[in-house]
């Protein structure tokens, strides 16, 4: 029996010599704890954070006999997402076990590559307000529109063909009557025109019976298209101030929204902002008791520490809410002895990711879209090089 | 007009070819890949996955000039063709993204279920 076992063992050793070597007792399968600490944590010292880099190279620990390459299986085993907060406009979630390179790609894509609709062309028929045409147009451009950009196509490069598939038209006509008090024009005054532009783009000849040509060529009303909201395309906020009109002043214009990405102009960015931070980790290197514990709790503005009773009238500081830590490092100020008591760290592969949507899409959909965009990029590169 | 005017031959050339590979004829284990219309977003992510690959001895990227919408990714391998390793890196990144998406959806439904209960 034992002979059989041995011969089988030998056979598999021959097939994969490396595995055999790695299974030996004196060959480490893990890097030493101090290196593991430097690899997975940023140490936030009182002067500066250290070990901020991530170690990517597969052979980084080859001299120790440890393989640093990450296989997809281990990524799949360790990766975890935990949603912490979710509302209509913002969300916070933890992304655990992912490299900053990938997390940052998601963040960058969210800010500059997920498409939305925004007002791009403004045709001003009349503007006698104090706000200049170009300033007014700029303000209109920045208004977030609550519409799913996936229903639309990008405009063609020449920009001639404005149809129901790539343009949303809003009309605005406000007038302050003479003798009336000044009025404030808010974004609610922008009215969606599902049938397209109503402004003639050429001089109307007096005796033509046909309809004058407008700035868009819609073949049907956007109301009737599948997937579109049946009632109305709204703006996210109806109370954005666009201009103020004095008696006798008037604004009449038409605004055309098209699909675009944040890299071209920030008005197309679907997020107010998207950011992440690494998970804070606060470690008490020695027991902090009595007056010192009190001092510590009072020093910490974000309220990370608590005090617990440990019997015999003694009290000890504990780390109760490390997530609150803002890295102010106030707790390790006050001399070498405090630096030796507390270690403030950040977990390198644990991201607290926050997304604030401007309203075009809910934040969770935005994140999924961002991941899809990165996938598409990979796919594009693979096909290009095949 | 938002796109920059085409002024010189180089930008015409860049616009014509979307991606290209610069390597040597004798040794295909070293190559530089030029990707047009990409930036740090993709280049840094792919640099990470490639460096995780044990076959890769060197991988780095650069953006030659901020006005050009282009990145160069240098890949050197132990012996496998750099192009294949590069494609494997892309595939790896794609699989990771897919897994992130699945995990995210899963966490989201879990969160919503917990909330309703």
In a domain? residue B117 = no
Residue A78 in contact with partner chain B when CB distance is under 8 A = no
In a domain? residue B3 = no
User: What does the pLDDT look like over B72-82, one tens digit per residue?
Assistant: 999 999 989 99
In a domain? residue B23 = yes
List A235's β-bridge partners, or say none: A145
CA distance B67 to chain A (A): 14
On the question of pLDDT at A17 being above 70, the answer is no
Which residues does A17 contact at the CB level (< 8 Å), separation at least 6? none
Can you tell me the distance from the alpha carbon of A212 to that of A217, in angstroms, rounded to the nearest whole number? 11
Which helix (H) or strand (E) segment holds residue A285: the answer is none
Can you tell me the distance from the alpha carbon of B26 to that of A240, in angstroms, rounded to the nearest whole number? 64
**What's the burial of A59, exposed, middle or buried (CB within 10 Å: 0-12/13-18/19+)?**
middle
In a domain? residue B24 = yes
Residue A21's pLDDT is 61
Domains and CATH numbers, chain A: 32-114+271-386 (3.30.1360.10), 116-269 (2.170.120.12)
User: What does the pLDDT look like over A269-292, one tens digit per residue?
Assistant: 999 999 999 999 999 999 998 889
Which residues does B62 contact at the CB level (< 8 Å), separation at least 6? B71, B72, B74
Q: Which residue has the higher pLDDT, A264 or A205?
A: A264
Interchain CB distance below 8 Å, A371 and B94: no
List, in sequence order, every beta strand (DSSP E) within chain A: 41-44, 49-50, 80-86, 90-96, 116-127, 145-146, 168-175, 183-186, 191-192, 234-235, 241-245, 250-260, 271-284, 305-309, 315-319, 342-357
Residue A128's pLDDT is 95
- DSSP 8-state class, residue A210: S
Pick from A298, A275, A325: which is nearest to A42 by CA? A325
Interfacial residues of B (vs A; Cβ cutoff 8 Å): 2, 18-19, 21, 33, 35, 38-42, 44-48, 51-54, 56, 83, 86-87, 90-101, 103-108, 110-112
Interchain CB distance below 8 Å, B100 and A79: yes
Among the partner residues B33, B97, B111, nearest to A371 by beta-carbon distance: B97
Contact criterion met (CB below 8 Å) for A69 and B53 = yes
Can you tell me the distance from the alpha carbon of B58 to that of B52, in angstroms, rounded to the nearest whole number? 11
Per-residue pLDDT averaged across A203-218, rounded? Answer: 70
Q: How does residue A61 score in pLDDT terms, banded at 50, 70 and 90?
A: confident
**Mutation target vs A (from B2, B32, B51, B113; most A CBs, 10 A cutoff):** B51
Interchain CB distance below 8 Å, A69 and B108: no
User: Looking at chain A from residue 158 to 217, which residues have their Cβ under 8 Å from any Cβ of chain B?
Assistant: none
Contact criterion met (CB below 8 Å) for B71 and B86 = no
Contact criterion met (CB below 8 Å) for A195 and A214 = no
Query: pTM here?
Result: 0.86
Residue A102 in contact with partner chain B when CB distance is under 8 A = yes
In a domain? residue B105 = yes
Interchain CB distance below 8 Å, A104 and B44: yes
Contact criterion met (CB below 8 Å) for B73 and B35 = yes
- For chain A, what is the radius of gyration of the CA atoms? 31
Q: How does residue A385 score in pLDDT terms, banded at 50, 70 and 90?
A: confident
Among the partner residues A101, A364, A385, nearest to B47 by beta-carbon distance: A101
Contacts of A351 in chain B (CB under 8 A): none
CATH of the domain at B92: 3.30.1360.10
Residue in chain A closest to B4 (alpha carbons) equals A264
In a domain? residue B41 = yes
In a domain? residue B34 = yes
In a domain? residue B77 = yes
Pick from A336, A47, A288: which is nearest to A296 by CA? A288
Residue A205's pLDDT is 62
Interchain CB distance below 8 Å, A102 and B52: no
Average pLDDT over chain A, rounded to whole?
A: 87
Q: What is the ipTM of this complex?
A: 0.86
Residue A177's pLDDT is 94
Residues of B48-70 as b/e, b for ≥16 C-beta within 10 angstroms? bbbbbbbbbbebebeeeeeeebb
Which helix (H) or strand (E) segment holds residue A365: the answer is helix A363-384
Q: Which domain holds residue B23?
A: 9-112
**Mutation target vs B (from A375, A376, A379; most B CBs, 10 A cutoff):** A375
End-to-end CA distance of chain B, in Å?
53
CA distance B53 to chain A (A): 6
Contact criterion met (CB below 8 Å) for A215 and A162 = yes
**Mutation target vs A (from B90, B95, B105, B109; most A CBs, 10 A cutoff):** B90
User: What does the pLDDT look like over A150-189, one tens digit per residue?
Assistant: 989 998 876 678 888 889 999 999 999 999 999 999 999 9
User: What does the pLDDT look like over B80-100, one tens digit per residue?
Assistant: 999 999 999 999 999 999 999
CA distance A296 to chain B (A): 35
Total tally of structural domains belonging to chain B: 1
User: What does the pLDDT look like over A319-366, one tens digit per residue?
Assistant: 999 999 999 999 998 888 899 999 999 999 999 999 999 999 999 999
């Amino acid at each position: 029996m034992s002979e059989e076992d041995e011969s089988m063992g030998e056979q598999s050793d021959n097939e994969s010599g490396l595995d055999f070597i790695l299974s030996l007792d004196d060959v480490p399968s893990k890097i030493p704890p101090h290196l593991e600490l430097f690899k997975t944590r940023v140490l936030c010292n009182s002067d500066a954070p250290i070990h901020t880099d991530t170690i990517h190279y597969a052979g980084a620990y080859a001299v120790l006999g440890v393989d640093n390459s990450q296989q997809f299986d281990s990524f799949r085993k360790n990766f975890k997402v935990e949603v912490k907060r979710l509302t209509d406009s913002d969300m916070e979630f933890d992304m655990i076990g992912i490299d900053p390179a990938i997390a940052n790609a998601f963040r960058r894509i969210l800010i500059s590559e997920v498409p939305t609709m925004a007002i791009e062309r403004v045709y001003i028929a009349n503007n006698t307000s104090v706000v200049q045409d170009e300033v007014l147009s700029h303000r209109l451009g920045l208004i977030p529109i609550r519409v799913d950009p996936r229903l639309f196509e990008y405009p063609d490069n020449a920009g001639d063909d404005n149809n129901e598939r790539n343009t949303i038209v809003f009309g605005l006509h406000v007038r302050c009557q003479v003798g009336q008090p000044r009025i404030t024009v808010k974004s609610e005054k922008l009215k969606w025109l599902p049938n397209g532009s109503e402004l003639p783009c050429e001089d109307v000849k007096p005796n033509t019976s046909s309809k004058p040509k407008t700035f868009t060529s819609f073949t049907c009303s956007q109301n009737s298209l599948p997937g579109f909201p049946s009632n109305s395309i709204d703006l996210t906020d109806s109370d954005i101030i666009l201009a103020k009109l004095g008696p006798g002043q008037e604004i009449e214009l038409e605004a055309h929204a098209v699909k675009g990405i944040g890299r071209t102009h920030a008005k197309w960015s679907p997020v107010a902002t998207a950011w992440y931070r690494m998970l804070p980790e606060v470690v008490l290197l020695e027991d902090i008791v009595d007056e010192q514990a009190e001092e510590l709790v009072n020093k910490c503005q974000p309220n990370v520490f608590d005090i617990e009773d440990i019997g015999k009238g003694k009290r000890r500081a504990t780390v109760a809410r490390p997530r609150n830590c803002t890295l102010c490092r106030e707790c390790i100020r006050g001399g070498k002895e405090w630096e030796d008591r507390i270690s403030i760290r950040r977990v390198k592969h644990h991201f607290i990711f926050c997304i604030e949507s401007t309203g075009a899409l809910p934040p969770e959909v935005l994140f999924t879209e961002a991941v899809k965009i990165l996938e598409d990029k990979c796919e594009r590169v693979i096909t290009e090089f095949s | 007009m938002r796109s920059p005017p085409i002024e010189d031959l180089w930008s015409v050339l860049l616009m014509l070819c979307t991606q290209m590979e610069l390597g040597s004829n004798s040794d295909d284990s070293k190559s530089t890949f030029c990707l047009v219309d990409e930036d740090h977003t993709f280049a840094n992510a792919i640099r990470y996955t490639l460096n995780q690959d044990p076959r890769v001895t060197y991988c780095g990227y650069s953006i030659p000039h901020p006005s050009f919408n282009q990145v160069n990714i240098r890949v050197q391998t132990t012996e496998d063709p750099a192009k294949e390793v590069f494609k494997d890196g892309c595939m790896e990144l794609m699989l990771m993204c897919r897994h992130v998406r699945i995990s995210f959806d899963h966490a989201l439904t879990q969160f919503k279920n917990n909330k309703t209960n």
